[in-house]
Amino acid sequence: MAYGDLSPTVKNILLLDSEGMRVAVKYYSDDWPTNSAKLAFEKSVFTKTHKTNARSEAEITMLENNIIVYKFVQDLHFFVTGGDDENELILATVLNGFFDSVALLLRNNVDKREALENLDLILLCLDEIVDGGMILETEANVIVGKVGTNNLDSAGSLTEQTITQALATAREQFTRSLLR
């Protein structure tokens, strides 16, 4: 029995926009050896799922001997793929951990524009959730804590915010003051 047989594995995690285009993707399996094979798989996943109503909770489907768990929020589509022998509940836990982490990182403003502006954090988030197909963490607060630590290490300090972050913070405070 190989080591991978002992623990559940993820083949890929996809974050696509409402037109099926990539926002952030990570592949952990050699099932799609070329970039064109990966793009074709993403297109087929999107085509099969885009008309479903997976907005309130995660949905599950089968495609090409893979189990795909997915969820849509505004103009973003979140997907986690595992083999046909993987446990759907574990894949759904990974999906929810990824979605909740992204929601925390984007301050519940989960849309394509915010995701692209914070793509570095989303990719770090993917790295904290899965490594080489092995699931490392699914708890959103822990993932965001690790991503925040990595981000602080690379940024130097909180006082060195980017202009985008400073504007986002100002916009958030302004919105709160208007809603009071």
CA atoms within 13 A of residue 11's CA, in its CB half-sphere:
22
Domain 10-152 = CATH 3.40.50.300: no
Residue 134, phi then psi, degrees to nearest 5: -85, 130
Distance CA 146, CA 152 (A): 10
Residue 162 has a pLDDT of 65
**Assigned token pair, 123:** 């990719």
**Assigned token pair, 156:** 């130097």
Q: How does pLDDT run along the chain (180 residues), one tens digit per residue?
A: 344 467 889 999 999 999 999 999 999 999 999 999 999 999 999 999 988 887 778 899 999 999 999 999 989 999 999 999 999 999 999 999 999 999 998 888 888 999 999 899 999 999 999 999 999 999 988 988 888 765 544 444 444 456 677 777 777 777 777 776
| DSSP H helix total and E strand total for the chain | 6, 7
Domain coordinates in residue numbering, the chain: 10-152
pTM for this structure? 0.78
**Assigned token pair, 105:** 């990182």
Residue 2 has a pLDDT of 47
Distance CA 137, CA 128 (A): 7
If one counts every other C-beta atom within 10 angstroms of the C-beta of residue 52, the result is 11
Residue 55 has a pLDDT of 77
If one counts every other C-beta atom within 10 angstroms of the C-beta of residue 79, the result is 24
Residue 31 has a pLDDT of 92
Distance CA 53, CA 55 (A): 6
